C-alpha cells in the first residue's frame, strides 16, 4: 500500500517566516512514520518545508498514494484545504483516502470532512492511523465505527464522531521519530546560514497539566506523560552519532515540571557524556536555584519563561497561576546562572487597559530578558478564551479562507491600538537597553522618537473612540 505523510507548510510562500528563518521538521509526522514502519507499513514522508505546491502535486501525479495523511495546524490550514481541493480534482487520485490529523482538526472536524477529508484523527495519531490503514487495506477493523478517535462522513452526508482514543500511557514503548525520512541537513543549513548554528528538535513529554485560557489542548488534552530520562538521553546520543548539529530545541510545553525527572536527566547527560547546548520553555513556579544549576550542568543555554503579561490582573484573567514578580525573579536568576532568558508577551487580551500595558512595559524594563516576543492575542477554537469572546467577534469570516489568527474581537481598544502598542513597547525597550550600555549613544534619540510616534498613534486611536 502506498502511504504518504505530509504537512502543507511551504516556507517560501511565507515572507514573514522567510525573514525569521527558523524552520523545524514535522516531528509529529516523523513519530507516526516510525510507528507505522515498526508495525510493518512502509511509508513516504513528503516534506513540504523547502518544496513548493507545484513540486508536491507533481510528486502525487508520479507516485499516486492510496492513503495520504496530512498534519494540520492553524498555520497550515489553508494549504491543507488547497491540497484537498487539488486531490479531489484529479481522476488519477479518485481512490486516494485523505486523512487529516493535528491540533487544528478536532474543533473543525465537520468543516474539514465537508471539504473532502475521508477521516479526521483527533488526539494522538499513532494507533489511530495504523487502524485506519488496516481498515482501508481490508486487514483491520471492518467498519470505521470501530476505530476510536476519528470523525468521518456517512452516506447521507452527515458526520459521525467516534469516542476519543485513550492516551498512550508508556511513551518509552514508542519508536524514536523516523528522521531518516526527511533531509535533516536542509534544516541544519537554513539555521546555520541565518543564525550561525544548527539545531534539532526533541520531544520528551506530551500534554500540559496547566489551564491557561488561550492555550489549545486539542491533541493531548489536560494530560502530562513523559518519556524516561534514559530514553531521552539515549535518543540524544543516537542523534549525535548520526547528525552534525550544534544545539537542541526541546519542544515540551514546560520542561521543568518534574524535578525528580530533571535530576535524573542531568545525571545521565553528564554520566553518558551527552551534554549538548539546549533550549527549553518553562514556568517561573517550576524553577529555583537548584533547578537552574541542574539545567546549566546538563547543557541548557536558554530558557523561555512564560509570562504573557506584566500585569497581574491580566495574568489572573488568563489563569496563568503565576506572579509577575516570580517571572521577573527567575529571569534574573537564570541570567545569574549563565543561562539566557526569554519571555513571551501577549497584548490585547480581554480587559487589558492602558494601565496593564504600562505594567507590561515596566516588567520588561525591570526584568530585562535577553529575548522577548510580542504578539496580539487571538482566540483559538476550543479554548476558554474563544468561548469567552465568541460573541464579541468583529466580523464573520469565511471558514475556508481564514484561520483563527484572523479573528478580531471587541477589546478595550481597537486592534490597531495594540498593533501600535507593540511598536511602542519595542522602541521603549530598545531605548532602555541602549541607555544601559551607553548613555551618550546617538541612537537614544532615534529610539525615543520612534517610541513617541507609536505612543501618539495609540493616543489617536483612543481619541477616535471618544
Alpha helices in 209-254 (DSSP H): 229-242
Q: Which residues contact 294 (CB under 8 A, 6 or more apart)?
A: 262, 263, 266
User: 197-372, which class in CATH?
Assistant: alpha beta
Answer whether residue 222 shows pLDDT above 90: no
pLDDT at 144 over 90: yes
| pLDDT computed for residue 377 by the predictor | 97
- Give the pLDDT mean for 308-334: 97
Non-local (6+) Cβ contacts of 291 within 8 A are 256, 259, 262
At residue 378, does pLDDT exceed 80? Answer: yes
Q: What is the pLDDT of residue 440?
A: 85
The candidate with the shortest Cα–Cα distance to 259, out of 234, 305, 293, 304, is 293
Backbone angles phi, psi at 357, to 5 degrees: -65, -40
CB 340 within 8 A of CB 371: yes
Distance CA 12, CA 15 (A): 7
Distance of CA 423 to the CA centre of its chain: 24
DSSP annotation of 176: P
Q: Dihedral through CA 315, CA 321, CA 322, CA 324, nearest 10?
A: 20
Note whether 349 and 309 are within 8 A (CB).
Answer: yes
* pLDDT(465) > 90: no
Domain residue spans of the chain: 3-161, 197-372
Q: What is the pLDDT of residue 441?
A: 87
Q: Please determine, for residue 53, whether its predicted confidence score (pLDDT) is greater than 80.
A: yes
Lowest mean pLDDT of 85-99, 165-179, 435-449, name the range: 435-449
Instruction: Give the three cell numbers for residue 417.
Output: 491600538
Would you state the pLDDT for residue 357?
Answer: 97
- Whether 153 shows a pLDDT value over 90: the answer reads yes
How many degrees, rounded to 5, is the angle at CA 184 between CA 179 and CA 187?
A: 140
Residue (of 385, 88, 51) closest to 214 by Cα position: 385
Q: What is the band of 179 on the pLDDT scale with cuts at 50, 70, 90?
A: very high
* First vs last C-alpha separation in the chain: 65
- pLDDT of residue 466 exceeding 80: no
Of 122, 111, 124, nearest to 150 (Cα)?
122
pLDDT at 306 over 90: no
Residue range 381-404: mean pLDDT, rounded:
96
pLDDT at residue 253 tops 90: yes
Q: How far is Cα 147 from Cα 207, in angstroms, rounded to an integer?
A: 22
Cell of 42: 512502509
What mean pLDDT is predicted for residues 351-378?
A: 97
pLDDT-based confidence at residue 223 (cuts at 50, 70, 90): confident
Pick the CATH number of 3-161 from 3.40.50.620, 3.40.50.2300, 3.40.50.280, 3.90.1150.10: 3.40.50.280
| pLDDT value for 373 | 96
User: Are 459 and 453 spatial neighbours (Cβ–Cβ below 8 Å)?
Assistant: no
Grid coordinates given for 460: 489617536
Dump pLDDT digits (tens) for 276-301.
999 999 999 999 999 999 999 999 99
365-374, 394-403, 435-444, range with the lowest pLDDT: 435-444
Could you report the per-residue pLDDT of 81-91, keeping only the tens digit for each?
999 999 999 99
Which triple of cell numbers denotes residue 335?
Answer: 541570567
94 close to 123: Cβ distance less than 8 angstroms:
no
Mean pLDDT of 348-356: 96
Q: What are residue 119's DSSP bridge partners?
A: 99
pLDDT at position 221, please? 84
Amino acid at each position: 500500500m502506498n502511504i504518504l505523510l505530509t504537512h502543507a507548510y511551504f516556507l517560501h510562500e511565507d515572507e514573514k517566516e522567510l525573514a525569521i528563518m527558523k524552520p523545524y521538521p514535522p516531528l509529529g509526522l516523523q513519530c507516526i512514520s516510525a510507528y507505522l514502519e515498526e508495525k510493518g507499513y512502509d511509508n513516504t514522508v513528503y516534506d513540504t518545508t523547502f518544496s513548493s505546491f507545484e513540486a508536491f502535486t507533481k510528486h502525487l501525479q508520479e507516485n499516486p498514494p492510496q492513503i495520504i495523511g496530512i498534519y494540520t495546524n492553524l498555520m497550515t490550514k489553508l494549504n491543507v484545504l488547497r491540497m484537498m481541493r487539488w486531490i479531489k480534482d484529479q481522476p488519477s487520485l479518485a481512490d486516494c483516502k485523505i486523512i487529516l490529523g493535528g491540533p487544528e482538526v478536532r474543533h473543525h472536524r465537520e468543516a474539514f470532512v465537508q471539504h473532502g477529508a475521508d477521516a479526521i484523527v483527533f488526539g494522538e495519531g499513532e494507533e489511530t492511523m495504523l487502524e485506519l490503514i488496516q481498515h482501508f487495506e481490508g486487514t483491520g477493523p471492518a467498519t470505521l465505527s470501530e476505530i476510536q478517535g476519528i470523525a468521518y462522513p456517512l452516506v447521507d452526508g452527515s458526520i459521525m464522531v467516534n469516542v476519543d482514543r485513550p492516551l498512550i500511557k508508556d511513551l518509552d514503548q514508542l519508536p524514536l521519530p523516523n528522521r531518516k525520512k526527511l533531509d535533516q541537513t536542509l534544516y541544519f543549513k537554513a539555521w546555520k546560514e541565518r543564525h550561525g548554528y544548527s539545531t534539532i528538535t526533541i520531544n520528551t513529554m506530551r500534554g500540559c497539566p496547566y489551564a491557561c485560557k488561550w492555550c489549545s489542548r486539542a491533541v493531548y488534552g489536560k494530560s502530562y506523560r513523559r518519556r524516561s530520562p534514559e530514553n531521552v538521553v539515549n535518543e540524544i546520543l543516537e542523534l549525535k552519532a548520526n547528525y552534525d548539529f550544534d544545539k537542541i530545541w526541546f519542544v515540551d510545553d514546560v520542561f521543568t515540571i518534574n524535578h525528580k525527572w530533571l535530576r535524573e536527566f542531568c545525571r545521565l547527560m553528564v554520566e553518558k557524556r551527552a551534554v549538548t547546548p539546549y533550549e527549553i520553555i518553562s514556568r517561573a513556579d517550576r524553577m529555583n536555584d537548584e533547578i537552574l544549576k541542574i539545567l546549566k550542568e546538563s547543557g541548557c543555554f536558554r530558557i523561555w519563561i512564560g509570562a504573557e503579561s506584566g500585569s497581574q490582573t491580566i495574568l489572573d484573567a488568563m489563569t496563568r497561576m503565576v506572579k509577575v514578580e516570580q517571572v521577573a525573579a527567575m529571569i534574573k536568576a537564570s541570567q545569574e546562572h549563565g543561562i539566557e532568558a526569554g519571555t513571551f508577551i501577549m497584548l490585547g487580551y480581554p480587559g487589558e487597559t492602558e494601565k496593564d500595558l504600562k505594567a507590561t512595559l515596566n516588567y520588561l524594563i525591570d526584568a530585562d530578558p535577553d529575548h522577548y516576543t510580542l504578539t496580539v492575542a487571538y482566540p483559538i477554537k476550543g479554548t476558554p478564551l474563544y468561548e469567552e469572546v465568541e460573541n464579541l467577534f468583529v466580523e464573520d469570516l469565511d471558514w475556508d479562507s481564514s484561520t483563527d489568527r484572523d479573528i478580531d474581537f471587541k477589546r478595550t481598544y481597537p486592534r490597531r491600538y495594540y498593533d501600535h502598542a507593540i511598536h511602542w513597547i519595542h522602541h521603549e525597550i530598545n531605548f532602555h537597553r541602549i541607555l544601559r550600555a551607553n548613555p551618550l549613544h546617538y541612537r537614544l534619540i532615534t529610539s525615543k522618537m520612534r517610541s513617541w510616534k507609536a505612543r501618539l498613534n495609540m493616543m489617536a486611536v483612543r481619541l477616535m473612540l471618544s
